[in-house]
Amino acid sequence: MRRIPKARTGVAVVAMLAATAACSGGGGSDDARKPADDDHAAIHVDHPVALADQDVKVRIGGLGAHDRVTVAAQAVDRSGQPWRASGRFTADAQGRIDLDRQAPRGGRPYTKADSTGLLGAMLPTAGRGVRMIGSGDAFSYHPPSPAEKRAYGLRLTVTKHGKQLADRSITRQWLTKTVRHRKLTVAKNRIDGEMYTPPPGKHRRAPVLVFGGSEGGNSGEYAAALLAARGHPALSLCYFRCGKGSGRPDAINMIDTGYFLRAARVLGKEPGADPRRLAVMGNSRGSEIAQLLGQRHPSVVRDVIAYAPSEVVNGPYLAGPSGRAAWAEHGRPIPAGPIRLDHVRGTVLAIAGGNDKMWGSAQAARAIAAQHNSSGRSHQQIAYPGAGHHVNWFPYGQPGQEGGANGAVTATAGSDQEARKDGWARVLKLLDDGV
């Protein structure tokens, strides 16, 4: 459950892992102490073009011995708003900086060596300063959606005393060239969503139906695109707040399971999809309907990925006095209360943060894992102690941070990034192995 301003949580993405490449240069220790020629400073990248959930090795070379410089990451979101994060670093005796091995001086904008630290720390900027976010707000860097652009760019710079020494652009892909996209509408398809279909491979792959939580809209589209780029047909489904004229409601109120089942059946017919292995991936409030689908319709849904989950059905959201129930089946309300998972055909994987301030998702994940599926196997959970509510989707990006007092960013942001990296790997394994 999230409170989100105009830039909704959902997604944005990229990475910086540091690594290889040696600087040229030789000579003895006297040469090493000479200041660098500014023309020789460079940012080395092993994969200038890579998927947005893929590591990118970045190293800075050609600096002077023990030079003190500022390294920055910057990008522009889909609304044209610049985002930026910078840290101060000291080169080694050979004039090199390895972001994977070295933390920024002073612990800002992050406290320990982290190749993705600058990306996770990016904030919207206004002129020269950071626009402060109000207490309790959730916010996120969102590049153009995969439906708009198949990739986005990120710029890395190195400066010293205000003078730029080096810069490098890298491209983060949502979709490979062979993945197809098409828009689905209520008017034409009876569902609102973005379909991403990879070319059929040697074997059919598990298709994935992706949807978000109380933020509404189509917040799962970045994740769906990346899943398709990795071989899984994926549909990002919007079930409420889908925009004017969409034909979808503006509240989580009597949202029928039939809508999701219709989407699942459309997805299961995509080329390369194995409908017997279909999985649903829901976040926050969306975790409720994801579990209900697995429990009530095991012939359609095999596995369930529940991010920041609830173990119970909650009441309607933004429905006003006319609200009846959040979810329905055949037009009849599904009562609030605990969600049983004993009819689920596959596995429910619950992923939560132990420092979730929105609701007790870690406790809910444990309750989910304490249940068994129709074959008697236990469901699975992983709770990341320092992470908050934003553990969902893929790594190396910034799906969301929460504003604290006086606009400060909550301390969970770094742990959220780590949780997304580990959690995404577990999700891909479940989809590939089905265990």
- Residue among 389, 390, 415, 416 flagged as catalytic: 389
246 annotated active-site: no
Best CA proximity match to 60, nearest among 4, 118, 128, 141: 118
H runs (alpha helix) in 164-255: 186-189, 221-229
389 annotated active-site: yes
Q: What are phi and psi of 165, to 5 degrees?
A: -100, -30
Q: How many other C-beta atoms are found inside a 10 Å radius of the C-beta of residue 435?
A: 10
DSSP string of 9-38?
TT--B---EE---PPP----HHHHTSPPPG
- Residue among 140, 284, 287, 415 flagged as catalytic: 284
Task: Let me know: does 226 contact 210? Beta carbons within 8 Å.
Answer: no
Dihedral angle, C-alpha 293, 240, 174, 435, nearest 10 °: -10
| Residue indicated by tokens 């409170």 | 3
- Residue among 55, 77, 356, 416 flagged as catalytic: 356
415 annotated active-site: no
Structure tokens that stand for 341 in this block: 């998972």
Q: How many other C-beta atoms are found inside a 10 Å radius of the C-beta of residue 17?
A: 18
| Residue indicated by tokens 């994926």 | 234
Catalytic site residues?
284, 356, 389
